[in-house]
Amino acid sequence: MKIIFQAFLASTTLHAIYFLTTMAVGYVKTALYRPNMVDAWQNADTLQREVAFGSTQSPWFNIVTFLSVAFVCWGILFTCKKINAGTKRPEVRE
């Protein structure tokens, strides 16, 4: 049960890093954007009338990716645990 909890914790951490990085990159791009109003005003054909922020996707996609990453992390942890169990050295007592 401990290894499953660790796998879910690793999946949560990886997803948090991904979403926070995505938001940070978007924030930096927005903060550093400087439009060239003179060129945009002279060429009115390229101006857009609608603005869309972000994108939409199914919430099931996030659930599936979370469980998939958790399963991969579980496999890695399980393999490492089995490898370390076979190479365990006897404890040295003083």
Domain boundaries, the chain: 2-41+57-86
CA–CA gap between residue 20 and residue 77 (Å, rounded) = 25
Closest CA to 62 of 26, 23, 18: 18
Asked if residue 46 has pLDDT above 90, the reply is: no
Confidence of residue 91 (pLDDT cuts 50, 70, 90): low
CA–CA gap between residue 66 and residue 25 (Å, rounded) = 22
Tokens of 49: 């009338």
Asked if residue 57 has pLDDT above 90, the reply is: no
Q: Which residue has the higher pLDDT, 85 or 40?
A: 85
Residue 70: how many other CB atoms lie within 10 Å = 20
